């Protein structure tokens, strides 16, 4: 929804317009890369019931990789990010600065910004486009959490995805009991 707001505000705010152009391919990349694993995890949670054809999950699992074809392959989306960076360097850097300000108090955000800055300084940026897309998408998601969710949700998101020791698979990182309780309360309100 934060990205959608950039499009709503983009006609009167150049920074929001630049944010929309830069973040859109990064978020598409991230979604296309993570949906198959997410659906697989949902199937695993349901066990055999998630696998049988009477449910919808097997179809979702078969169709999940289509996102990457429909929305553009990962490499094409990364090239879209690089195209925005080359055409609108100053505006893109202003978006990075804005993301840095929006996430400055979140765990791992400073490292993510440093990673992005390091990648932007490389001569072989095209070869590292996926690393840039991933870090940019996660930082933008953390910024969106920071603005639209309770502080503890944003902090839990950042700890599980931005810190250097973050694990890429679902459930691969231990959460504090208080964070688990808070997330469950948020997902399943009484």
Question: Looking at residues 32-36, what average pLDDT do you find?
Answer: 88
Torsion angle defined by CA atoms of residues 59, 60, 62 and 65, in that order, rounded to the nearest 10 degrees: 160
Share of the chain above pLDDT 70, in %: 94
- Does pLDDT of 71 surpass 80? no
137 or 169, which is more confident? 137
How does pLDDT run across 88-147, given as a tens digit for each residue?
A: 999 999 999 999 999 999 999 999 999 999 999 988 888 889 999 999 999 999 999 999
How does pLDDT run across 44-65, given as a tens digit for each residue?
A: 888 887 778 888 888 998 888 8
177 or 112, which is more confident? 112
* Structural domain count of the chain: 1
Task: Give the whole-angstrom CA distance, residue 102 versus residue 147.
Answer: 8
Task: Give the whole-angstrom CA distance, residue 163 versus residue 74.
Answer: 23
Question: Looking at residues 23-37, what average pLDDT do you find?
Answer: 91
| Domain span at 70 | 2-187
CB 109 within 8 A of CB 158: yes
- Does pLDDT of 173 surpass 70? no
- Predicted pLDDT of residue 98: 96
- Predicted pLDDT of residue 168: 61
- Does pLDDT of 171 surpass 70? no
H or E segment at 154?
helix 151-161
34 or 101, which is more confident? 101
How long a stretch of residues is the chain? Answer: 190
Task: Give the whole-angstrom CA distance, residue 21 versus residue 31.
Answer: 16
- Predicted pLDDT of residue 97: 96
Task: Give the whole-angstrom CA distance, residue 155 versus residue 142.
Answer: 8
């Amino acid at each position: 929804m934060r990205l959608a707001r950039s499009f709503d505000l983009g006609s009167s705010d150049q920074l929001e317009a630049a944010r929309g152009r830069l973040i859109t391919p990064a978020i598409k990349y991230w979604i296309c890369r993570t949906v198959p694993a997410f659906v697989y995890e949902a199937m695993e949670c349901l066990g055999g019931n998630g696998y049988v054809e009477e449910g919808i999950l097997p179809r979702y699992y078969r169709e999940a990789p289509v996102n990457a074809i429909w929305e553009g392959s990962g490499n094409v989306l990364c090239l879209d990010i690089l195209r925005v960076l080359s055409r609108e360097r100053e505006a893109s850097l202003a978006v990075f600065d804005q993301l840095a300000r929006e996430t400055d108090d979140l765990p791992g955000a400073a490292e993510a910004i440093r990673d992005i800055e390091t990648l932007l300084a490389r001569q072989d940026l095209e070869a590292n486009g996926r690393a840039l897309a991933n870090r940019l998408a996660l930082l933008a998601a953390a910024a969106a959490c920071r603005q639209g969710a309770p502080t503890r949700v944003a902090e839990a998101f950042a700890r599980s995805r931005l810190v250097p020791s973050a694990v890429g698979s679902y459930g691969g990182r231990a959460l504090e009991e208080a964070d688990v309780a808070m997330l469950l309360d948020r997902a399943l309100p009484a």
